[in-house]
């Protein structure tokens, strides 16, 4: 069974539509490879495609190191980075897939955007993120 790119594209599009502050959304596999991504219309990305791939890879590597403390501190809901020019969130979907999201720097209610809008969408679609042969 291959990767359902049609679903992933649709999921990214639906995530992007959840809030006007969401700039970019990407589904990333456990190896840090961006499988699909969508950008809000009119947004100029700050990183090149290669830089974005490198960032995704390092974000997943950091996520994996956090996992060793899960038994003591609980499951991570999301990791958040606040930069001068944008905000970034890494949201685990399951053990094989992650959602990377960037938000406008002006967004002050990022926790609400992630927890009240994006996480419910993930939960509604979690069964679609089944382990697939994604040997990418």
- Tens of pLDDT, residue by residue over 62-114, are 887 877 788 899 988 999 999 999 999 999 999 899 999 999 999 999 999 99
Rounded to whole angstroms, what are the CA distances from 130 to 39, 61, 122, 135? 24, 21, 12, 14
- Tens of pLDDT, residue by residue over 6-53, are 999 999 999 999 999 999 999 999 999 999 999 999 999 999 999 999
At 1, the pLDDT band (50, 70, 90 cuts) reads low
Q: What is the predicted pLDDT for the residue at 70?
A: 85
pLDDT(2) > 80: no
What homologous superfamily does CATH list for 5-128? Dynein light chain 2a, cytoplasmic (3.30.450.30)
**C-alpha distance across the termini of the chain, in Å:** 14
Residues present in the chain in total: 136
Answer whether 0.85 is exceeded by the pTM.
Answer: yes
Residue spans of beta strands (DSSP E) within 30-66 = 34-39
CA–CA gap between residue 130 and residue 133 (Å, rounded): 10
Q: What is the predicted pLDDT for the residue at 133?
A: 54
Domain segments of the chain: what residues? 5-128
Q: CB-based contacts of 67: which residues, under 8 Å, 6+ apart?
A: 76
Greater confidence (19 vs 132) lies with 19
Greater confidence (130 vs 117) lies with 117
Percent of the chain with pLDDT over 70: 95
């Amino acid at each position: 069974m291959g990767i359902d790119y049609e679903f992933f594209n649709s999921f990214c599009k639906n995530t992007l539509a959840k809030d006007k502050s969401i700039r970019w959304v990407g589904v990333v596999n456990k190896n840090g490879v961006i499988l699909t991504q969508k950008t809000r219309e009119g947004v100029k990305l700050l990183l090149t495609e290669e830089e974005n791939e490198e960032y995704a890879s390092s974000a997943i590597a950091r996520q994996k190191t956090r996992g060793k403390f899960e038994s003591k501190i609980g499951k991570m809901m999301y990791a958040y980075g606040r930069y001068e020019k944008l905000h970034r969130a890494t949201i685990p979907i399951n053990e094989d897939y992650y959602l990377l999201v960037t938000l406008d720097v002006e967004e002050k209610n990022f926790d609400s955007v992630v927890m009240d809008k994006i996480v419910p969408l993930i939960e509604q679609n979690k069964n679609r993120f089944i382990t697939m042969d994604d040997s990418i």
